[in-house]
Amino acid sequence: MGSPHGHKLHFHGHSPIHRAPAHLKLLALVGFVLVVVATPKDWFAAYAAYLAVIVGVVAISKVPPTYILKRMVVELPFVVFALLLPFVAQGPRTEVLGLSLSESGLLAAWGLLAKGTLGVLASLTLAATTEPQELLVGLERLHLPHLLVQIMGFMVRYLDVVTSEMQRMKVARESRGFTARNPRHWPVLARSAGALFIRSYERGERVHLAMLSRGYTGRMPRR
Amino acid sequence: MTPVLDVRGLAFAYPDGHQALFGVDLHVHRGERVALLGPNGAGKTTLVLHLNGILAAGAGTVAVSGLPVTKDNIPEIRRRVGIVFQDPDDQLFMGTVRQDVAFGPANLGLKGDELEACVQRALEQVGMAEYADRPPHHLSFGQRRRVAVATVLAMEPEILVLDEPSSNLDPASRRELVDILRTLDVTVLMVTHDLPYALELCPRSVVLSDGNVVADGSTYDVLTDDTLMRAHRLELPFGFDPRTVGPAPAVG
């Protein structure tokens, strides 16, 4: 199960970016995203500068650009929405390639795309250069409430367990000749999801039992 | 001498009315390794959950080294009784092996260097010290099982309770676990369906069936008592004959 190093988003390396303390990287990411979001849509030069910053950071980190680009697919739903904007927005219209498009819609689409892309790029760069564990330590150092950090820790820990369980259920379904092709198959998928939920819930109870057995009293030990 | 584990007349029924234990008596003395055998649904897990006070006895008593399992004693009882659960993924829930092993002793109030030394010792006992900084989900199943044992050893229990320790292990991992358990200077109660494993590790066996103790004796005698075995749905794996293997060597 899993590779010896890191998470699916993590790219193992030893660059200065990899070594930088996680809480500084987190602060840098949040600061960067806030600045990007606050920049007016028509300051095109500023956006070029932001992109240059990210490209620079990725270059220093020695993470292959294709590695990050491939993982940009998460942005796709936003891209679709941004592409629709020029068609549906109101206001003065302009001709592009024989299509009548809304000017304000075009600008809004540009803004959404540019800001979204920069944000996703920056986040992926953080994820590629920081182990999930370090991120949790970073969040703790930034004084995020202990409970929230713990919940995230459990999520990181059990994500792989639950996905592999889901994968096994899928294999078992397909081994019995089932593949979800059309909406008539959805009830089966829904039942699988339900079973997965109950299994995870029961695992949660077993984990709690194991914690109680080692003296857990409702507070994580501080160190 | 006070037994490490002293269960007297333990009875328990689940809230839905299903009675799982009917007056169980069980004594385990210091340094013993005892196998708890029985078919599915015999009440083995229910019994185990009474040993550290997760379930409260309906009738009867449980005492660990003379300390009765009552609400007030729960923290000390949970230190004395270390349970290793069947699925290591249930037991290992922290980000790294080190944090996981530290969880128990930290709950007992250990801090700093003392805690660090305790974690290191427990990991060395199971041969996993070099994996201290790895996330548990990147270890093999056998390695995770060993770390699960370490999480409990770190609390320096008086009795180690193992729930199906050999399940899902490949033969090499089984062998490694036997070697590790043999080197530990701790009393062991091992719940298992794996009869050859019981013969290998535990000189003494207790058979639980339908919530009653139906046999308590040397593992060799239990496994070679065909009438008893048949009566309680216990079967040796194909090709395994305890008579050709002989009784397990004495502890020590």
Q: B150 to chain A nearest CA, in Å?
A: 12
Query: Does A4 map to a domain?
Result: no
* pTM score, whole prediction: 0.78
Q: CB–CB of B38/B207 below 8 Å?
A: yes
Residue B206, pLDDT score: 97
Query: Does A98 map to a domain?
Result: yes
What is the arithmetic mean of pLDDT over A23-40?
92
**Residue A175 shares a structural domain with residue A95:** no
Q: A29 to chain B nearest CA, in Å?
A: 23
Contact assignment for B89 to A4 by CB distance below 8 Å: no
CA separation for the pair A32, B113 (Å, rounded): 39
Domain end point (choices A137, A159, A191): A137
Contact assignment for A216 to B103 by CB distance below 8 Å: yes
- What is the CATH code of the structural domain delimited by B5-245? 3.40.50.300
- CB-based contact, B72 to chain A, within 8 Å: no
Helix (H) or strand (E) holding A93: strand A93-96
**Residue A72 shares a structural domain with residue A120:** yes
**Residue A127 shares a structural domain with residue A159:** no
Per the structure, the complete domain to which residue A107 belongs is given by: 16-137
Query: Does A66 map to a domain?
Result: yes
Sign of CA dihedral B240, B242, B243, B246: positive
If DSSP states are collapsed to H, E and C, what string results for A61-73? HCCCHHHHHHHHH
**Residue A56 shares a structural domain with residue A118:** yes
- CB-based contact, B45 to chain A, within 8 Å: no
Q: A112 to chain B nearest CA, in Å?
A: 36
Query: Does A165 map to a domain?
Result: yes
Judged against a pLDDT cut of 80, whether residue A81 lies above it is answered with yes
Return the percentage of chain B with pLDDT > 90, whole number. 77
CA separation for the pair A200, B53 (Å, rounded): 24
CA separation for the pair B149, B101 (Å, rounded): 9
**Residue A168 shares a structural domain with residue A198:** yes
Domain end point (choices A74, A106, A137): A137
Structural domains in chain A (count): 2
Name the least confident of A38-52, A94-108, A160-174.
A94-108
Q: Chain B contacts of A209, Cβ < 8 Å?
A: 49, 54, 85, 90
Residue A83, pLDDT score: 84
**Residue A37 shares a structural domain with residue A106:** yes
pLDDT tens digits for range B58-74? 999 999 999 999 989 98
Q: In sequence order, which ranges of B96-225 are alpha helices (DSSP H)?
A: 97-107, 112-125, 141-153, 171-183, 195-201, 219-224
**Residue A131 shares a structural domain with residue A159:** no
**Residue A98 shares a structural domain with residue A198:** no
Mean pLDDT, rounded, of chain B: 92
Residue A218, pLDDT score: 74
Residue B250, pLDDT score: 59
Q: Chain A contacts of B161, Cβ < 8 Å?
A: none
Domain ranges of chain B: 5-245
Q: Chain B contacts of A1, Cβ < 8 Å?
A: 137-138
**Residue A151 shares a structural domain with residue A131:** no
Domain end point (choices A88, A115, A137): A137
Report yes or no for ipTM above 0.90: no
pLDDT confidence band for A31 (50 / 70 / 90): very high
Judged against a pLDDT cut of 60, whether residue A223 lies above it is answered with no
**Residue A50 shares a structural domain with residue A149:** no
**Residue A110 shares a structural domain with residue A189:** no
